[in-house]
Amino acid sequence: MSAAISTQTVVAVIGAGTMGAGIAQVAASVGHTVKLLDTRTDAAALAIAGIRAQFDKMAAKGKLSSAQAQAAGQRLHVAHQLADLADAGLVIEAIVEDLSIKHQLFADLERVVSSHCILASNTSSISITAIGAALSHPERVAGLHFFNPAPLMALVEVVTGLATHQNIADSLHATATAWGKTAVHAKSTPGFIVNRVARPYYAEGLRLRGEGAADCATLDALMREAGGFRMGPFELMDMIGLDVNYTVTCSVWNAYFNDPRYLPSLQQKECVDAGFLGKKSGRGFYDYRAGSDKPLPVSASAQPVPADIVICGDSAAASALADRLTAAAVPFSRAKSDDGRVAQAGAAVLFVTDGRSATQRAFDSATANTVLIDLALNYATATRLALASAGQCAPDATQAAIGLLQAAGLQVSTLADIPGLAVMRTVAMLANEAADAVYQGVCSAAAADSAMRLGVNYPQGPLAWADQVGLPNIREVLQNLAVSYGEDRYRISPLLQRQFYLGKNFHD
């Protein structure tokens, strides 16, 4: 295991844009002399002025003493040419995302810096193996992938290319840790960890919308209020920029030789083609132009409290519903559950989705009044839940199911009868993708979960979440989605299968 570079080491940051400035701020704040280089006139000087202003703000808020802010600001220097970086012990490149330009820069750098200098790239999508390929010493090249904004986001992916020496990766891991970040090791593969494992978050949302499950506002509200995600997929894509998000999806899809798992969405392409790029263009999935209001999620209208509620079994959903009804002083009885049912209300029988449509499940079990509910991160605290009823279900049975959930204090969003509903299907696919990344040796299970919690603020790592839901349930959802759609996209990761057959969790 290699140690962190010493704070006496000069750190060079090349590219003084969004990421370079943030990375320079991080390095200077922990004590490094930082040299910032950019080909744009005055870009480095302006970035340094901005970082100093940040340090002053932190001092004003009492997060730094004014002497510390002053000292950190003084550690930042403009570099005017590559030769100025000769004394750097670590170079972090954060220039334009173009392999040939990065190749040229690293080749020029190799002639300037000492043989001990570590060369790192902040690229989010270019292969570290490919960047190293043009160099005489590719073993000292690694990815050091910060997230935006670098001073605030805790995650750093340390990416090893085929030729990267493990000591270099270990030293960068220790360095990022010393800089106050949570570092995770990742093998250089398309999307590394976060940009790969996150793909289903957008893709399943887009598919749900495309299949008419609900509108964007309802799907976003479900992912927030039932799933516990900070932002729903559509508001998030609007914030990231639909063009940026679409480009990442296409780049991962292309890099995996068009694996259907990562198939881009025609709907998203349509938006990009139309110039509906999200917030920055005034229009994306939502309309941000003056005078337009953000649409509200669709919630079922209030239904009477059913007189004959039965809570069945002691699953997480059943137990939470029982507690919530008790807290609301709504009478109910309890019964065992032999077929996975969670509750009964009037003629309705409620189940948590297993990846079949409600209509199929009603058919399979000869129970016409089948109503499915979605996964919640925490059924005790969720404020909204999705529900879908079978095509065979009587309208008053659906109303009774809605009445039960409303009596338990939940807003109910009725979805069209789409297999796997919203949160369950998304979480199953996130866990499946994370499992494949682990299976293929890209990262450890712990790294996959940390990366998703810290890189994109997921409320729980997908693998830990799958453990909580139960691997047999997640596997069943995926299996049923694969049958429903007949698409390779929903194939189950061999690691998930293996853990299931062993009766183990991902984190056992």
CB atoms within 10 A of CB 105: 23
Residue showing the smallest CB distance to ligand NAI in the complex: 17
Candidate segments 32-40, 175-183, 256-264, 485-493, binder of ligand NAI by CB under 6 A: 32-40
Q: Where are the alpha helices (DSSP H) in 386-470?
A: 395-407, 423-439, 445-455, 462-469
Residue 86 C-beta: closest distance to ligand NAI, Å:
16
Q: For residue 156, what are the β-bridge partners?
A: 146, 183
CB atoms within 10 A of CB 116: 10
How far is C-alpha 442 from the geometric centre of its chain's CA atoms?
A: 16
Provide the sign of the torsion angle of the four alpha carbons 234, 237, 239, 242, taken in this order: negative
Residue 55 C-beta: closest distance to ligand NAI, Å:
20
Nearer CB in complex with ligand NAI: 54/413: 54
Work out whether 416 is an interface residue with ligand NAI (CB under 6 A).
no
Site for ligand NAI in 94-123 (CB under 6 A): 94-97, 101, 105, 122-123
Residue 153 C-beta: closest distance to ligand NAI, Å:
9
Maximum CA pair distance of the chain? 80
User: Of residues 29, 32, 127, 157, which has the active-site annotation?
Assistant: 157
Work out whether 43 is an interface residue with ligand NAI (CB under 6 A).
yes
Q: Where are the alpha helices (DSSP H) in 339-394?
A: 358-365
Q: Is 127 an active-site residue?
A: no
Q: For residue 348, what are the β-bridge partners?
A: 345
The continuous run of DSSP H or E covering 211 comes out as none
317: amino acid identity, one letter = A
Nearer CB in complex with ligand NAI: 20/346: 20
Nearer CB in complex with ligand NAI: 108/364: 108
Provide the sign of the torsion angle of the four alpha carbons 303, 304, 310, 311, taken in this order: positive
- Give the CA angle between residues 132, 135, 136 to the nearest 5°: 130
Candidate segments 12-20, 72-80, 256-264, 403-411, binder of ligand NAI by CB under 6 A: 12-20
Q: Is 195 an active-site residue?
A: yes
Write the CA distances from 340 to 303, 470, 481, integer angstroms: 25, 14, 19
How many Å apart are CA 374 and CA 119, to the nearest integer? Answer: 47
Nearer CB in complex with ligand NAI: 49/502: 49
- Nearest of 12, 21, 77 to residue 50 by alpha carbon: 21
- The only residue of 38, 157, 225, 449 in contact with ligand NAI, by rule CB under 6 A: 38
Residue 93 C-beta: closest distance to ligand NAI, Å:
8
Nearer CB in complex with ligand NAI: 124/357: 124
Nearer CB in complex with ligand NAI: 15/205: 15
Nearer CB in complex with ligand NAI: 103/334: 103
Question: Which two structure tokens, joined as six digits, stand for 464?
Answer: 């830990």
Nearer CB in complex with ligand NAI: 37/422: 37
How many Å apart are CA 382 and CA 287, to the nearest integer? Answer: 28
Concatenating the DSSP letter of every residue in 108-123 gives HHHTTS-TT-EEEE--
How many Å apart are CA 258 and CA 261, to the nearest integer? Answer: 8
Query: Do the beta carbons of residue 418 and residue 208 sit within 8 Å?
Result: yes
User: Of residues 122, 127, 195, 251, which has the active-site annotation?
Assistant: 195
How many Å apart are CA 188 and CA 99, to the nearest integer? Answer: 14
User: Of residues 32, 145, 173, 185, which has the active-site annotation?
Assistant: 145
The footprint of ligand NAI on this chain (CB under 6 A) covers a number of residues equal to 24
Residue 150 C-beta: closest distance to ligand NAI, Å:
8
- The only residue of 20, 73, 138, 205 in contact with ligand NAI, by rule CB under 6 A: 20
Instruction: State the binding string over 131-170 for ligand NAI (x if CB under 6 A, else -).
Output: ---------------xxx----------------------
Nearer CB in complex with ligand NAI: 169/412: 169
SS3 assignment for 306-349:
CCCEEEECCCHHHHHHHHHHHHCCCCCEEECCCCCCCEEECCEE
- Nearest of 214, 194, 472, 186 to residue 355 by alpha carbon: 472
Question: Which two structure tokens, joined as six digits, stand for 443?
Answer: 């990262």
Nearer CB in complex with ligand NAI: 35/209: 35
Residue 137 C-beta: closest distance to ligand NAI, Å:
20
Site for ligand NAI in 265-284 (CB under 6 A): none
Tokens 């984190």 sit on residue = 507
Site for ligand NAI in 446-475 (CB under 6 A): none
Q: Is 157 an active-site residue?
A: yes
Residue 51 C-beta: closest distance to ligand NAI, Å:
14
Residue 39 C-beta: closest distance to ligand NAI, Å:
4
Instruction: State the binding string over 58-97 for ligand NAI (x if CB under 6 A, else -).
Output: ------------------------------------xxxx
Work out whether 16 is an interface residue with ligand NAI (CB under 6 A).
yes
Q: Is 507 an active-site residue?
A: no
The continuous run of DSSP H or E covering 121 comes out as strand 118-121
- The only residue of 14, 183, 197, 222 in contact with ligand NAI, by rule CB under 6 A: 14
Question: Which two structure tokens, joined as six digits, stand for 102?
Answer: 């990065």
User: Of residues 124, 357, 413, 432, which has the active-site annotation?
Assistant: 124
- The only residue of 40, 111, 137, 294 in contact with ligand NAI, by rule CB under 6 A: 40
How many Å apart are CA 311 and CA 319, to the nearest integer? Answer: 8
Q: Which residues are catalytic?
A: 124, 145, 157, 195
Contacts with ligand NAI, residue ranges (CB under 6 A) = 14-20, 37-40, 43, 94-97, 101, 105, 122-124, 146-148
